[in-house]
Structure 1
């Protein structure tokens, strides 16, 4: 059995920054580029020596590093009224989690064996819970006893809980669901529509009165109800040895968030997730017993793979309290080394820092000088540290996340190169746009290399587990023969990639071709250093009246890097020649703009005054001008630039069904919400040239 250290592959002493990926000779064909592979490590798969090929193997690696090492951490509640959490983290060790996964796995397997639980094509088990230690214990138990985990989005809005949860449960044929106490009543109300469910398990400890009441309510629907500790006790009394998985054992059905239509269930094998984790261990540089701060939803593949990497190296995972307003407090107590994040969070960090630093006087001057000095050094050498400016200026930014962060990753959506550069110099650590990926390739496709002076704006070369190619998109004017660099739809292949959507042959055929290439829907360019740059979208594009194609998500991402933008929805009509938008402004910056233009003090907390400012033509014109400058600075074409904007204080949320659980815009629902206002912008007629 290989040593755990053998799975971590270090960077070579000299990185070939000029050849980060290389074309495979003889693979160029008409209508597509050559196949590109990682410039250092080539292509790995499940047959590569010392590679992880199953998830139970991965957990055992973490366990072998030390069963007494801290593993899963949380802040206990010490008061419910008012809600208050302990000032320190409490930890479960690897050894304790090992025992609990055996107890839980034994109980679940026995229930399926006895016929108390009845699987469909697979023995599926649902998890409906926010991030917490029990989520990971359940998932590890399922991996260890050949069960298939199905995570339900904990962030579903009230309006969509019934329909979407009902769909997930019946589609995946769930017969047992682990849920936190706040979801139990929802499940019982849905019970008449849940034809497959036989048992509900409450993850939380309940008062005996409440537990008895729920038990009676469950029995009325012919459902069995158990508490988490009760199921663990049953497994402890009838302990079974873990069942080794094969690489091709199904591990999870992970549902996409569904921005345009019903979600798709991505069937992920043990090897898909294990080899994706292995690929992320190439070049991973974290301290011994590193800490990850877990706050991104575990129903989303990106967070799951980040946590799997942490487990594989015997690291620690500290879960946030569940309240976004306490996230920074959690970070300052936990002091994480690894902070997986998303652009919507990192953009706010950037905006807050820039607003805080852009003040008059000596403080603002020092901030600008420090910023300029570090950016020049970054672009010249790739070095993100500076002994003087880190101590004088940027340690305050670093302290926001606890002061010990060594790796920040940005995933799930594009982020601007300006924001990436700032984050690198502000946190003085590796900040990677990636891994770039999707549910269908286990969040693993490309990743930028550390200390690359010009990496920002790219997602780096393909991972060691992947090869990529570009397909021509004639309708959008992108070809693999474009100069100076090939362009086209990005396709990816590798042992981490899925092969089927659950019970969905049509979408499977559209996404995966006969050679195993997954078509991502992203348009990319491969630059002369072998790095991938995402430049457009094939999916979710629309054609304006004059025949020009526009990728609305790309445009939204560009505008979102501006501090005034809290949220933005860009809308196009095929009968019109220009774009319009709904913008939810940052209240602090909106108050400053309104105060200046209206010549009176407008407070960020004065909702009525801010609402009035949103209707002020001067304010709208000023913000539109700001957006136009942002568009020009990022090279948007005239037809890609928003020409009219509606300001609103009514945000896009999961609750009002305008956001997916992974915080992406639901375009149809967003349009319906602001249909009157958007149609009103178009009714004004075509604007004059700006």
Structure 2
């Protein structure tokens, strides 16, 4: 299976290392701060550095970005969705528990920029009338004092339209994770004194349950039904809202607004400093925190992402792509570059696909998804809405065989998926590949080809022949057109990273950032073939490292031959840094006041955020996250164990779906909690002669436990872990960790350590007895 590599290196956007450069003039050794690191593109002709903060077309707010994009786009495809046909309740076994399955149309309904803009302005006019001129009533107030609009819904085509409509009226929006539960939602709505809540069918029940405790709630707008992708809301549920609360739907607002406004397009133009979004993050302890984001933060986000999207070749004018939906035949639909897309032809034919499509499927209440969607609006990349639960035929919510997966129909060219999702995708692919010995051999042979291509600098992927024969099926699951995958929010193992790049024959690049820094602060360069690293700062962002003597991480480690790189706590600076944590001015929270002072700091004439993450910067000016200040356990001899580092090593084991290391204060050793993969654990049981079957029995079987301990120890030695890092005891968890089930993970699927420790308190007591 020879032949040239499926994605030669010359087809990637070209740039040369170093990708990040230090400004040595900013070194502050006395105070423990290293020099500032910039993207290499920020160096000016005189050798100084300047961040890129503005768009070439001059937009200064999310509202202007949207309007300018629609003006340029015209009849270009902007967004698409699948219409929900029917909701089924299906039992997996006869007489067993029933689960909800969704049947969708097997095609996308696409909206042009012109149609999407009309939707936004129609909703804005209808919303303003329904909420008694709420925009006009708040117009004279400062943006921080205006009424807030909560968007409490899962990702769907109307989510962003409603948010843009509220912003066009000068009203900040509030986002709340679906997984925050009743207490978290009530806290956020009361803290922001929100009068308006826009919610969908899934979350309206939560809203109804807490409505009596929301004294400021006046207006509820329901999202879903009426030929859209969401489910209709039962009127009997809405009837339980307090009688003082007015209720309408998004679809009614749109139809009423269209009649009211005619052709007029009323909107306010926010300033860069105006408040745009308050995004509530789940965190790991205490009530959720609302991160305040300005319009200027979103503009900086777009500037940061411009180089990141160079892989999509938006600055070129391709003639379009062939390869429409399977039942439609080939289509050619131009979706042209910034300078030419205004010249596009008429609306796309039904069933056609735009040149570049982003698969919008992650929660929009999370900054990664919201930021990328705003970027795509600006760059002319079409948004295809879906869900992780219906992304492929294996999705737990999809009714098959009636419905195909979202990705197969949308055929995205760009996706952003967290490592936890990529790990599941890889596990599913390998499960199929290992079903027969011949397919397993071919698959591993093709993966080895991919490794060699990367090692020799030839490019990404296996040979063209191997790619078309071996990887065609897994590629088809995600549409077969992927040009790039972005990831972030947690580390992705080098082994998995390389394998997935080869399987999908496209680069996967890791980003780094936080809600507090608009997510897109650090992104890997497309030609950079190093693994386990994040990348240089983006062009509207700066990095620097602060010494952390307690953890033995210092900028001076660059002179330590055993390390050779500066190390320390990562600080992010520049226009991506948000406004701080929201608090009620009439009742400030002392803890939040403290956090705003300690985590948001002013240095070198710029605003910085202290991330709490420990990083090191290599000779190419690329950041690698190696630890977290709060994830260290101090052993009895004063040794530090980096819990998250070991967890990432453990998750490479095929029988580990998730893992948490724990060290008790004053304890003599660390322990490990493993959420096992049932099939892989059953295989271990067969190997060791155990007769246990079923997850609960497997998790409590002594033979299985001993076999798992042996495999973990061997894996620790292979990973060259030091002896005090080895988990001395292991607990196999029969419970699934999921935010919607037991709140042991955040919405981004990160560990909620205090909650997990509390959940397994009895087991911990036994392990340390």
User: TM-score w.r.t. structure 2 length?
Assistant: 0.81
1:291-310 to 2 correspondences below 5 Å: 291-310=357-376
- Cα deviation for residue 12 of structure 1 reads 11
Is contact 1:351–1:562 with CA below 8 Å preserved after alignment?
no
> Paired residue for 2:53, among 46, 50, 54?
46
1:154-165 to 2 correspondences below 5 Å: 154-156=178-180, 161-165=181-185
Is contact 2:61–2:299 with CA below 8 Å preserved after alignment?
yes
Is contact 1:179–1:202 with CA below 8 Å preserved after alignment?
yes
Question: Aligned partners of 1:444 and 1:539: how far apart in 2?
Answer: 23
**Corresponding residue for residue 7 of structure 1:** none
Question: Aligned partners of 1:11 and 1:353: how far apart in 2?
Answer: 26
**Corresponding residue for residue 95 of structure 2:** none
Instruction: Determine whether 1:574 maps to 2:649.
Output: no
Q: Would the alpha carbon gap of residues 14 and 180 (structure 1) be closer, same or farther in structure 2, given more than 3 Å must change?
A: closer
Q: Would the alpha carbon gap of residues 320 and 448 (structure 1) be closer, same or farther in structure 2, given more than 3 Å must change?
A: same
Instruction: Determine whether 1:407 maps to 2:431.
Output: no
Is contact 1:120–1:173 with CA below 8 Å preserved after alignment?
no
- Cα deviation for residue 51 of structure 1 reads 6.0
Of the structure 1 ranges 223-232 and 19-28, higher mean CA displacement relative to structure 2 is found in 223-232
The C-alpha deviation readout for 1:381-400, integer Å capped at 9, x for no partner, is 06103322212222222122
The C-alpha deviation readout for 1:438-474, integer Å capped at 9, x for no partner, is 1011002111111323x21100111111111100010
> Paired residue for 2:680, among 565, 589, 607?
589
Question: Aligned partners of 2:14 and 2:412: how far apart in 1?
Answer: 28
Instruction: Determine whether 1:628 maps to 2:713.
Output: yes
Is contact 2:12–2:527 with CA below 8 Å preserved after alignment?
no
For residue 449 of structure 1, give the secondary structure of its aligned residue in structure 2: coil
Question: Aligned partners of 1:115 and 1:659: how far apart in 2?
Answer: 40
Is contact 1:341–1:408 with CA below 8 Å preserved after alignment?
yes
For residue 307 of structure 2, give the secondary structure of its aligned residue in structure 1: coil
Question: Aligned partners of 2:11 and 2:435: how far apart in 1?
Answer: 41
Question: Aligned partners of 2:582 and 2:505: how far apart in 1?
Answer: 43
For residue 539 of structure 1, give the secondary structure of its aligned residue in structure 2: helix
> Paired residue for 1:619, among 700, 704, 723?
704
- Cα deviation for residue 534 of structure 1 reads 0.6
1:425-574 to 2 correspondences below 5 Å: 425-434=502-511, 436-453=512-529, 455-482=530-557, 483=560, 484-503=564-583, 504-515=592-603, 516-574=607-665
> Paired residue for 1:148, among 154, 167, 172?
172
Aligned length: 659
> Paired residue for 2:73, among 57, 62, 66?
66
- Cα deviation for residue 329 of structure 1 reads 1.7
User: TM-score w.r.t. structure 1 length?
Assistant: 0.90
The C-alpha deviation readout for 1:358-403, integer Å capped at 9, x for no partner, is 5674433322222212201112206103322212222222122111
The C-alpha deviation readout for 1:584-626, integer Å capped at 9, x for no partner, is 11111111111221266x7xxx52xx32222222212222333
Is contact 2:55–2:303 with CA below 8 Å preserved after alignment?
no
Q: Would the alpha carbon gap of residues 171 and 575 (structure 1) be closer, same or farther in structure 2, given more than 3 Å must change?
A: same
**Corresponding residue for residue 278 of structure 1:** 303
For residue 352 of structure 1, give the secondary structure of its aligned residue in structure 2: helix
Q: Would the alpha carbon gap of residues 633 and 271 (structure 1) be closer, same or farther in structure 2, given more than 3 Å must change?
A: farther
The C-alpha deviation readout for 1:333-374, integer Å capped at 9, x for no partner, is 221111110111111222333444456744333222222122
Question: Aligned partners of 2:426 and 2:387: how far apart in 1?
Answer: 23
Question: Aligned partners of 1:360 and 1:336: how far apart in 2?
Answer: 30
Is contact 2:80–2:108 with CA below 8 Å preserved after alignment?
yes
Question: Aligned partners of 1:212 and 1:679: how far apart in 2?
Answer: 49
Question: Aligned partners of 2:458 and 2:599: how far apart in 1?
Answer: 37
- Cα deviation for residue 202 of structure 1 reads 1.0
**Corresponding residue for residue 440 of structure 2:** 364
Question: Aligned partners of 1:114 and 1:215: how far apart in 2?
Answer: 28
- Cα deviation for residue 282 of structure 1 reads 1.5
> Paired residue for 2:745, among 637, 659, 663?
659
Q: Would the alpha carbon gap of residues 78 and 673 (structure 1) be closer, same or farther in structure 2, given more than 3 Å must change?
A: same
Question: Aligned partners of 1:382 and 1:300: how far apart in 2?
Answer: 36
- Cα deviation for residue 35 of structure 1 reads 0.6
The answer for unaligned runs of 5 or more in structure 1 is 1-9, 684-690
For residue 22 of structure 1, give the secondary structure of its aligned residue in structure 2: strand
- Cα deviation for residue 322 of structure 1 reads 6.6
Of the structure 1 ranges 567-576 and 65-74, higher mean CA displacement relative to structure 2 is found in 65-74
**Corresponding residue for residue 196 of structure 1:** 216
The C-alpha deviation readout for 1:24-61, integer Å capped at 9, x for no partner, is 13111111211111123444333574465321222124
**Corresponding residue for residue 196 of structure 2:** 176
Question: Aligned partners of 1:426 and 1:135: how far apart in 2?
Answer: 33
Q: Would the alpha carbon gap of residues 645 and 382 (structure 1) be closer, same or farther in structure 2, given more than 3 Å must change?
A: farther
The C-alpha deviation readout for 1:407-455, integer Å capped at 9, x for no partner, is 1111111111111111111111121011x111011002111111323x2
For residue 344 of structure 1, give the secondary structure of its aligned residue in structure 2: helix
> Paired residue for 1:80, among 82, 87, 93?
87
Q: Would the alpha carbon gap of residues 55 and 595 (structure 1) be closer, same or farther in structure 2, given more than 3 Å must change?
A: same
For residue 97 of structure 1, give the secondary structure of its aligned residue in structure 2: helix
Is contact 1:480–1:488 with CA below 8 Å preserved after alignment?
yes
Question: Aligned partners of 1:182 and 1:496: how far apart in 2?
Answer: 33
1:92-491 to 2 correspondences below 5 Å: 92-109=111-128, 111-113=133-135, 121-156=145-180, 161-205=181-225, 213=236, 217-218=240-241, 220=243, 222-239=244-261, 241-284=266-309, 285-286=311-312, 288=335, 289-321=355-387, 323=389, 324-325=395-396, 329-358=405-434, 361-381=437-457, 383-385=459-461, 386-434=463-511, 436-453=512-529, 455-482=530-557, 483=560, 484-491=564-571
> Paired residue for 2:729, among 626, 644, 661?
644
For residue 63 of structure 1, give the secondary structure of its aligned residue in structure 2: helix
Q: Would the alpha carbon gap of residues 41 and 362 (structure 1) be closer, same or farther in structure 2, given more than 3 Å must change?
A: same
Question: Aligned partners of 1:304 and 1:212: how far apart in 2?
Answer: 30
For residue 66 of structure 2, give the secondary structure of its aligned residue in structure 1: helix
For residue 481 of structure 1, give the secondary structure of its aligned residue in structure 2: helix
**Corresponding residue for residue 28 of structure 2:** 29
Q: Would the alpha carbon gap of residues 575 and 13 (structure 1) be closer, same or farther in structure 2, given more than 3 Å must change?
A: closer
Question: Aligned partners of 2:455 and 2:38: how far apart in 1?
Answer: 26
The C-alpha deviation readout for 1:220-242, integer Å capped at 9, x for no partner, is 3x111112223234433443512
Is contact 1:200–1:223 with CA below 8 Å preserved after alignment?
yes
**Corresponding residue for residue 5 of structure 1:** none
Is contact 1:61–1:313 with CA below 8 Å preserved after alignment?
no
**Corresponding residue for residue 99 of structure 2:** none
Is contact 1:272–1:495 with CA below 8 Å preserved after alignment?
yes
Q: Would the alpha carbon gap of residues 628 and 415 (structure 1) be closer, same or farther in structure 2, given more than 3 Å must change?
A: farther
